[in-house]
Amino acid sequence: MENYPEDVKYHKEHMWVRSNGTIGITFFAQDQLGEIVFIEVPEPGAAVEAGKTFGEIESRKSVSDLCAPVTGTIKEVNSEVQDAPEIINEDPYGKAWIAVIDINDISEIDSLLTAAEYKELVSGEESP
């Protein structure tokens, strides 16, 4: 399950979150989007709400909303991803994290999907 690490939890809108509040898009999302060319997220201090749009990601194919996996305040934004968004295609769970959120209620993570649950969810969404 290398494309779906076990040390993160997954939101059904194809975002992942670590217990420290680091968030990013999933391997599945970057694979479906194709070559990522632009990402827009709010500055640190902005409030985000679980399940709500907080930014955009653009690929050569389309523009998609980024959906917050948890509720909180953005503490940090990964400037490397903003300067070179294509790294999301190379390392979506590592150097290509998108932001760090100061999570309002850490127990919110418990309601998110495990790697196995997320893999099952996306297995029905794969492109032919």
CA pair distance 109, 107, nearest whole angstrom: 5
The domains of the chain are located at 9-117
Beta partners for 67? 53
Q: Which long-range contacts (CB under 8 A, 24 or more apart) does 44-47 make?
A: 44/74, 44/75, 44/76, 44/77, 45/73, 45/74, 46/73, 46/74, 47/72, 47/73, 47/74
User: pLDDT (tens digit, 9 = 90+) per residue, 68-127?
Assistant: 999 999 999 999 999 999 999 999 999 999 999 999 999 999 999 999 999 999 987 755
User: pLDDT (tens digit, 9 = 90+) per residue, 1-53?
Assistant: 468 999 999 999 999 999 999 999 999 999 999 999 999 999 999 999 999 99
State which CATH number among 2.60.40.10, 3.40.50.11740, 3.40.640.10, 2.40.50.100 fits the domain covering 9-117: 2.40.50.100
Tokens of 27: 């391997």
Assign 3-class secondary structure to the chain.
CCCCCCCCEEECCCEEECCCCEEEECHHHHHHHCCEEEEECCCCCCEECCCCEEEEEEECCCEEEEECCCCEEEEEECHHHHHCCCHHHHCCCCCCCCEEEEECCHHHHHHCECHHHHHHHHHCCCCC
Q: Which residue has the tokens 């999933």?
A: 26
CA pair distance 1, 58, nearest whole angstrom: 26
